[in-house]
Amino acid sequence: MKLYDYTGVIHLHSAFSFDGHTPMDEIISAARNNGIDFLMLTDHDHMKARDQGWEGWQGTTLVIVGEEIAPRFNHYLAFKTKEPVIAFDDPAGEKPQKYIDAVNNQGGFGFIAHPDHEGTAMFHVKHYCWNDWEVSGYAGIGVWDFMTDWQKSLRGYFSGLLSFLLPAYFLKGPRKITLQRWDTLNQIQKTVGIGELDNHASIKKLLGITFVAFPFDRAFKFIRTHVLTDNKFSGNSQQDTNMVFQSMLHGCCYFALEYFRKAQGFQFWIHQDKKEFHMGDHLKLSGNAQLSVSCPQQAHIRIIRNGLEWNQKITHSFSVPVVETGIYRVEVYLKSAGKFRPWIFSNPIFVN
């Protein structure tokens, strides 16, 4: 079965956010220059971009307007809501279940944002982690967040400068604690994993020089989320947005660092009884299942089963029989500058 692979960026802030600085037309131009098919905008606590007509197809980029519900802790990315949800009565974010329910009551859905964000004390960046894991009703979590990963590399002024100039070489991939949490949650119920950018194009000043930290034309080269759809984009904004939502909610998506090499073309499936099962699918094991992975370039492919490495190989593609039930996902590491670096992380296939 042919699936269509579309490249998106989830979690970004425009000039509509109090801490954003880039107008929508510049963001869309940067997306076009970087081959981004869709953007999922998440300005803080409102959806003014929708009110001003920015939602829908803008040239070759589909703009989807959501919001980041952003009290002190427990930030939440909400989509498909009719009105913004704002935690006015909960500035510390102590009752995230309340706003998760408010999003769901509007027919929307959401993702826990940067769950293990630590910030960096040296550069006065606060931590914005998620600290209430008793909640329910969320669709998934941000597994790999560019800002969480990059800020963790800021350990000193010299290394911080190098990290700013060459960020992709300092990224370590999703945090171990986040991957473990994601694997555990998927043992309980399907929990979709996404990649986040969380870029604000912040204006900084150093030694009297004003500059933009990660303008979007640069930032869009880092963490992206791909959705796989049954049909091609039609050009109809509502129809295509619904396809993106459907694929995301099913878990038919993967996320990747695409600075060194584009990830489009990555495939992960299980073939059984003349049927193909893809990310997000469930299948009942019948004894003749074959798991396959294919990458656009030779890389270190790791197959993870129930949170533990189950198989691995350095190759373009390979297949192995599946003889045990479990939750299978893929991690791919690409060799660049003499080192294997995090590249692609898939959502799982559930073998029951």
Q: CB neighbours (10 Å) of residue 220?
A: 25
Residue 189 is predicted with a pLDDT of 96
Q: Is pTM beyond 0.85 here? A: yes
Q: CB neighbours (10 Å) of residue 332?
A: 23
Domain 267-351: assigned CATH number: 2.60.40.10
How many residues are given for the chain? 352
Q: Reduced to 3 states, what is the DSSP secondary structure of residue 137?
A: coil
Residue 207 is predicted with a pLDDT of 58
Tokens at 255, concatenated: 């996320």
**Where in the chain are the domains?**
4-257, 267-351
- Reference 300, options 255, 348, 343; nearest CA is 343
Paired sense of beta strands 192-196 and 140-145, if any:
parallel
Residue 302 is predicted with a pLDDT of 98
Residue with tokens 């500035």: 91
Dist. CA 62–CA 93, nearest whole Å = 31
CB-CB contact of 20 with 43 (8 Å): yes
CB-CB contact of 336 with 259 (8 Å): no
Dist. CA 282–CA 218, nearest whole Å = 38
For each of the chain's 352 residues, which pLDDT tens digit applies? 789 999 999 999 999 998 888 999 999 999 999 999 999 999 998 999 999 999 999 999 999 999 999 999 999 999 999 999 988 889 999 999 999 999 999 999 999 999 999 877 656 668 889 999 999 999 999 999 999 888 887 777 777 788 888 999 999 999 999 999 999 999 999 999 999 999 997 766 655 667 677 899 999 999 999 999 999 999 999 999 999 999 999 999 999 999 999 999 999 999 999 999 999 999 999 979 999 999 999 999 999 999 999 999 999 999 999 999 999 999 999 999 999 999 999 999 999 9
Residue 212 is predicted with a pLDDT of 74
Residues 6+ apart with CB under 8 A from 333: 299, 300, 302, 340, 341, 342, 343
Dist. CA 247–CA 102, nearest whole Å = 23
Q: Reduced to 3 states, what is the DSSP secondary structure of residue 163?
A: helix
- Reference 258, options 203, 295, 310; nearest CA is 295
Q: Which CATH class is domain 4-257?
A: alpha beta
Query: Is the fold of 4-257 the same as that of 267-351?
Result: no
pLDDT tens readout for residues 181-190: 999 999 999 9
Residue 22 is predicted with a pLDDT of 95
Residue 209 is predicted with a pLDDT of 65
Residue 163 is predicted with a pLDDT of 80
Q: Hey, which residues does 303 pair with through a beta bridge?
A: 311, 330
Strands of the sheet with 192-196, listed across from one edge: 67-69, 76-79, 109-112, 140-145, 192-196
Residue 88 is predicted with a pLDDT of 82
Distance of alpha carbon 222 from its chain centroid, rounded?
11
CB contact burial 145-179 (16+ within 10 A = b; e otherwise): bbbbbbbbbbeeeeebeebbeebbebbebbbeebb
